Amino acid sequence: MTLNLVPDRFQMKDFSNASFPPETIAIMKVALDSAVASLPDPVSSAHVQAIAETILRTAKDGERDPAILQRMALMELQILTRC
């Protein structure tokens, strides 16, 4: 048994079964960089993690447009920070 002291909302989701070709990774990087750059300073690591998870999940579902990946991540972040 392991003791986990990190709250669930700050733990990275399991994407171990996800696999992406280099072109998709490049698209996801553009989306991540653009999304983070659009946030006001200071940007927290929890926000970056939430954005990354949304981009990974959305890309895993087949989306490849970096603008849509960015928009989805920012929309989910907005919803998460209101809860």
Please indicate, yes or no, if residue 55 is contained in any of the structural domains.
yes
- Domain around 58: 31-83
Please indicate, yes or no, if residue 80 is contained in any of the structural domains.
yes
In 10 A of CB 82, how many CB atoms? 6
Number of domains in the chain: 1
Please indicate, yes or no, if residue 66 is contained in any of the structural domains.
yes
Please indicate, yes or no, if residue 7 is contained in any of the structural domains.
no
Question: Nearest 5 degrees, angle CA 51-CA 54-CA 56?
Answer: 105
Please indicate, yes or no, if residue 18 is contained in any of the structural domains.
no
Mean pLDDT, residues 58-69: 95
**Tens digits of per-residue pLDDT, 1-55?**
444 433 444 445 666 777 899 999 999 999 999 999 999 999 999 999 999 999 9
Burial state string for 33-45 with b = 16 or more CB within 10 A and e = fewer than 16:
ebbbeeeeeeeee
pLDDT of residue 6: 39
pLDDT of residue 44: 93
Name the pLDDT band for 70 (thresholds 50, 70, 90). very high
Mean pLDDT, residues 53-62: 93
Please indicate, yes or no, if residue 42 is contained in any of the structural domains.
yes
User: CB-hemisphere CA count at 13 Å for 35?
Assistant: 29
Contact by Cβ (8 Å): 58, 19: no
Please indicate, yes or no, if residue 22 is contained in any of the structural domains.
no
